């Protein structure tokens, strides 16, 4: 069946393989952005590896596109007509886990050998990983443009040698990617230029994360409202810059991984899958580190905003600065997380109004005043009761005192 397409899913992207006409028709019907899968590269990899001639022939006769799997694209694929049916002998399914899309699968009897061939799957997985990384790189470029931050300008403004080296590393990697796109592979010469760049990128990332930690530490101290507002302003002004540096680091790390997979394709094609898996593990570790540091900063800002709202009556301007700064930083962090594929929602904190705080204080004062009046009334009653009791006791003793005085008087006269 010429209209049949085969789907390979790695959790991040979906490869669509089939005749060019069928694949393009499928993509048009779904209406989602796609990239060329690069099957010519896969054919070269298979030819140098352990793939069978039949698998290579099947790949040669087909065309491929790649779709990034997002919640939106997966739902669209699941609900559209081509995913629901098509023909006898073909079944498709959207796989979910804990409420999230974890895979889209198609099973077919016609080209099942191609999809189950280990060499084909390993090669396709490596190329799909590269496409996902390149997609992230493009999205980071858009992110940096959207926040109006020139990373190179930020780096040049820093006197630290580690940051200064990032500019040179970026140039080297950008050149290597350009050569790869033109040649279609990474030669030993190209690889020799970039293989040591990862250390500089890692050092720069660590430096940027330490700067975020320093901002969090300043916010966590025992500051008066004026100093807290100043610390929040500093965080608001500089967090965006350090997020931009981290984004550039992540972008260059993705470029390194793309080039590294290409190099393994050339040198040891049978090891591509293990290498890809190792790169994915390292990538997840970097993301976890970034999440940890940015979350700490947001926690400190949340605490600062909560304290500011409790002080709005006595320090309205400083309180407003703190809450506004917290929300600005949280918005920037959410945007940064989205680019890296991190799903973490953050709610905006509402700034407490001065009038609202004044009414609360008035109400509390009234309540305390009413309690005070009642306490005074009870105190007065108690004191009056004590006074009356003392009077009665004194009155009961007066006859005895009078008699005693009279007796002493009589004795003196006699």
What is the domain count for the chain? 3
Cα–Cα distance between 136 and 409 in angstroms, integer? 115
The answer to whether residues 174 and 120 belong to one domain is: no
The answer to whether residues 362 and 328 belong to one domain is: no
More confident residue, 26 or 362: 26
The answer to whether residues 159 and 288 belong to one domain is: yes
pLDDT attached to residue 39: 78
Distant-in-sequence contacts of 213-218, Cβ < 8 A, 24+ apart: 213/293, 213/296, 213/297, 215/239, 215/297, 215/300, 216/296, 216/297, 216/299, 216/300
Cα–Cα distance between 163 and 251 in angstroms, integer? 15
The answer to whether residues 121 and 163 belong to one domain is: no
The answer to whether residues 114 and 79 belong to one domain is: yes
Kindly tell me if the per-residue pLDDT of 411 is higher than 90: no
Cα–Cα distance between 33 and 226 in angstroms, integer? 49
Question: Domain of 81?
Answer: 5-127
Residue 89 lies in a domain: yes
More confident residue, 84 or 282: 282
Cα–Cα distance between 177 and 134 in angstroms, integer? 10
DSSP secondary structure of 219-250: HTS---HHHHHHHHHHHHHHHHHHHHHHHHHH
Whether 75 contacts 30, CB under 8 Å: no
The answer to whether residues 23 and 154 belong to one domain is: no
The answer to whether residues 178 and 297 belong to one domain is: yes
Residue 138 lies in a domain: no
Last residue of a domain, one of 352, 379, 405: 352
Residue 133 lies in a domain: no
Residue 180 lies in a domain: yes
Kindly tell me if the per-residue pLDDT of 102 is higher than 50: no
Cα–Cα distance between 414 and 405 in angstroms, integer? 15
Residue 132 lies in a domain: no
Whether 258 contacts 130, CB under 8 Å: yes
Residue 142 lies in a domain: no
pLDDT attached to residue 51: 53
Find all residues with CB under 8 Å of 297, minimum gap 6, and list them.
Answer: 212, 213, 215, 216, 219, 235, 239, 329, 333
The answer to whether residues 248 and 362 belong to one domain is: no
- Give the pLDDT band of residue 150 (cuts 50, 70, 90): low
DSSP secondary structure of 361-404: HHHHHHHHHHHHHHHHHHHHHHHHHHHHHHHHHHHHHHHHHHHH
318-346: burial string, b at 16+ Cβ within 10 Å, e else:
bbbbbbbbbbbbbebbbebbebbeeeeeb
More confident residue, 116 or 33: 33
Q: What is the rounded radius of gyration, in angstroms, for the C-alpha atoms of the chain?
A: 37
In this prediction, what percent of the chain has a pLDDT beyond 70?
65
More confident residue, 103 or 311: 311
Q: Give the residue among 339, 239, 250 at the shortest CA–CA distance from 296.
A: 239
Mean pLDDT computed over every residue of the chain: 76
- Give the pLDDT band of residue 20 (cuts 50, 70, 90): confident
Kindly tell me if the per-residue pLDDT of 214 is higher than 80: yes
As a whole number, mean pLDDT of residues 159-173 equals 82
Kindly tell me if the per-residue pLDDT of 215 is higher than 90: yes
* Continuous segment of H or E residues that includes residue 5: strand 5-9
Kindly tell me if the per-residue pLDDT of 93 is higher than 50: no
Residue 122 lies in a domain: yes
Kindly tell me if the per-residue pLDDT of 247 is higher than 80: yes
As a whole number, mean pLDDT of residues 146-165 equals 66
More confident residue, 360 or 126: 126
Cα–Cα distance between 392 and 255 in angstroms, integer? 99
Kindly tell me if the per-residue pLDDT of 29 is higher than 90: no
Cα–Cα distance between 349 and 60 in angstroms, integer? 56
pLDDT attached to residue 376: 47
List alpha helices for 311-353, DSSP H: 316-340
In the chain, how long is the greatest CA-to-CA distance?
151
pLDDT attached to residue 148: 63
Helix (H, G, I), strand (E, B), or coil: what is residue 148?
coil
Cα–Cα distance between 296 and 302 in angstroms, integer? 10
Q: Are strands 13-18 and 5-9 parallel, antiparallel or unpaired?
A: antiparallel
CA distances from 234 to 32, 91, 188, 239, 396 (A): 41, 56, 46, 8, 78
């Amino acid at each position: 069946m010429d209209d049949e397409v085969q789907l390979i899913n790695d959790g991040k992207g979906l490869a669509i393989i089939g005749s060019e006409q069928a694949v393009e028709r499928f993509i048009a019907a779904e209406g989602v952005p796609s990239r060329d899968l690069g099957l010519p590269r896969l054919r070269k990899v298979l030819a140098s590896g352990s793939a069978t001639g039949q698998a290579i022939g099947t790949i040669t006769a087909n065309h491929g596109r790649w779709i990034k799997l997002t919640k939106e694209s997966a739902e669209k694929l699941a609900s559209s007509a081509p995913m629901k049916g098509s023909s006898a002998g073909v079944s498709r399914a959207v796989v979910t886990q804990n409420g999230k899309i974890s895979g889209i699968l198609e099973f077919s009897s016609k080209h099942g050998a191609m999809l189950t061939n280990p060499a084909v799957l390993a090669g396709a997985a490596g190329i799909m990983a590269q496409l996902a990384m390149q997609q992230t790189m493009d999205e980071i470029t858009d992110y940096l443009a959207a926040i109006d931050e020139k990373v190179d300008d930020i780096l040049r403004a820093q006197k630290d040698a580690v940051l200064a080296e990032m500019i040179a590393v970026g140039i080297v990697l950008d050149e290597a990617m350009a050569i790869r796109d033109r040649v279609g592979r990474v030669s030993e010469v190209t690889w020799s230029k970039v293989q040591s760049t990862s250390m500089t990128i890692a050092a720069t990332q660590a430096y940027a994360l330490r700067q975020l930690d320093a901002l969090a530490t300043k916010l966590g101290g025992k500051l008066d409202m004026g100093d807290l507002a100043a610390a929040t302003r500093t965080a608001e002004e500089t967090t965006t810059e350090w997020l931009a540096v981290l984004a550039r680091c992540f972008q260059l790390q993705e470029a390194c991984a793309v080039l590294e997979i290409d190099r393994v394709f050339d040198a040891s094609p049978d090891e591509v899958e293990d290498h890809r898996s190792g790169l994915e593990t390292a990538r997840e570790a970097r993301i976890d580190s970034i999440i940890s540091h940015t979350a700490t900063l947001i926690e400190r800002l949340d605490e600062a905003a909560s304290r500011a709202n409790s002080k709005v009556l006595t320090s309205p301007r400083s309180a407003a600065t703190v809450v506004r700064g917290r929300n600005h930083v949280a918005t920037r962090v959410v945007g940064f997380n989205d680019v890296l594929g991190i799903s973490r929602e953050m709610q905006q904190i509402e700034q407490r109004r001065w009038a609202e705080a004044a009414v609360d204080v008035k109400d509390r004062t009234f309540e305390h005043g009413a309690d005070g009046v009642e306490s005074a009334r009870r105190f007065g009653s108690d004191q009056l009761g004590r006074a009356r009791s003392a009077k009665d006791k004194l009155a009961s003793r007066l006859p005895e005192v009078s008699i005693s005085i009279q007796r002493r008087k009589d004795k003196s006269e006699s």
